[in-house]
Amino acid sequence: MTVLTYAEKINLAATAIERACGSAEIAVVLGSGLGDYVEALSDVRAIDYKDIPHFPVSTVAGHKGRWYTGTLHGKRVCMMQGRFHAYEGYDLADVTMPIRVMQKLGVKTVILTNAAGGVNLDFHAGDLMLINDFINLSGKNPLTGPNLDEYGARFPDMTYSLDRELQALTLATAGKLGVPLQQGVYCWLNGPTYETPAEIRMTRILGADAVGMSTVPEIIVARHGGTRVLGISCITNMAAGVLDAPLNHAEVMEMGNKVKGTFRTLLDGVIAEL
């Protein structure tokens, strides 16, 4: 039996997606509660993750596990309804395989969305936050191991991990559309437990504005491979200890649902301008 390399698995997955759905120039990863945004696409073709060779399958409620490609504002856009998280037990090579596949398919811009807990005390549940930078508190990095030289350098820059031009364009678009948009630093902790109040106080001291269990591995791999990244968090709840109440996943999903209209307005506006 031949053992395939990671790079070969990426190529096989990319070929299957290209056959089923075609390629795309823009990609959107839809976070918890935001999966309905695929409805914005026209001329849609889709493939279930389980039908993509070597692709992981998602296990979280609210993450559906399907890849869509379609047209939006005259552009070819692919969308992932469901992403992979380290807390599900995947290693980071699996978590970030979709980003590598996007790079193979010729995607130049990826928009990463997520649900996050608000750490900044000026935030409120329901706010949207443009991600300016990140803190990786997971102790892990998706580029650990042999470098994939065909994608990028061994020691990639993270000064501009989140594309400055895309951030400016998003702020201008939000202003034009009257969509309130916070900005800040997203901090990745592994999960699946929500953080403790002490951990949230720590992340605030460290400079975080929001916390979550995703997105950072994807930012790192996108940056490594030269893909422009835009990150937007939906602050679905204030983080642990900010309010005197326990956190739960149902509340996160519910708030995702409540803000999806505004979220969609902003994403549509940004994609139209790309």
Residue 85 annotated among the catalytic residues of the structure: yes
Token match 């959107």: residue?
28
Residue 101: CB partners within 8 Å, gap ≥ 6?
10, 13, 14, 17, 55
Closest to 263 in 3D by CA, of 45, 1, 28: 28
- 62 is a site residue for ligand HPA (CB under 6 A): no
Give the pair of three-digit tokens for residue 250: 């149902």
Beta strand 128-136 with 182-188: parallel, antiparallel or unpaired?
A: parallel
Beta strand 42-48 with 66-72: parallel, antiparallel or unpaired?
A: antiparallel
Residue 88 annotated among the catalytic residues of the structure: yes
CA distance 114 to 213: 9
Q: Which is nearer to ligand HPA, 220 or 235 (CB)?
A: 235
Residue from the set 88, 94, 133, 195 that interacts with ligand HPA by CB under 6 A: 195
Number of residues in contact with ligand HPA under rule CB under 6 A:
13
What is the nearest approach in angstroms of ligand HPA to the Cβ of residue 132? 18
What is the nearest approach in angstroms of ligand HPA to the Cβ of residue 130? 17
Residue from the set 103, 138, 170, 236 that interacts with ligand HPA by CB under 6 A: 236
Residue 79 annotated among the catalytic residues of the structure: no
CA distance 121 to 133: 18
Catalytic, out of 13, 14, 27, 88: 88
Closest to 237 in 3D by CA, of 119, 136, 112: 119
Site string for ligand HPA, 98-117 (x = CB under 6 A): -----------------xxx
3-state secondary structure 76-93: EEEEEECCCCHHHCCCHH
Q: Which is nearer to ligand HPA, 99 or 119 (CB)?
A: 119
Strand partners, 67: 47, 80
Which one of 103-111, 130-138, 176-184, 210-218 is the stretch in contact with ligand HPA (CB under 6 A)?
Answer: 210-218
Q: Which is nearer to ligand HPA, 211 or 216 (CB)?
A: 211
What is the nearest approach in angstroms of ligand HPA to the Cβ of residue 1? 40
Q: In one letter, which amino acid is 106?
A: G
Residue from the set 211, 219, 222, 266 that interacts with ligand HPA by CB under 6 A: 211
- 252 is a site residue for ligand HPA (CB under 6 A): yes
CA distance 29 to 76: 15
Catalytic, out of 7, 20, 158, 249: 249
User: Which residues does the annotation mark as catalytic?
Assistant: 32, 63, 85, 87-88, 115, 213-214, 237, 249
The site for ligand HPA (CB under 6 A) is made up of: 115-117, 194-195, 211-213, 236-237, 239, 247, 252
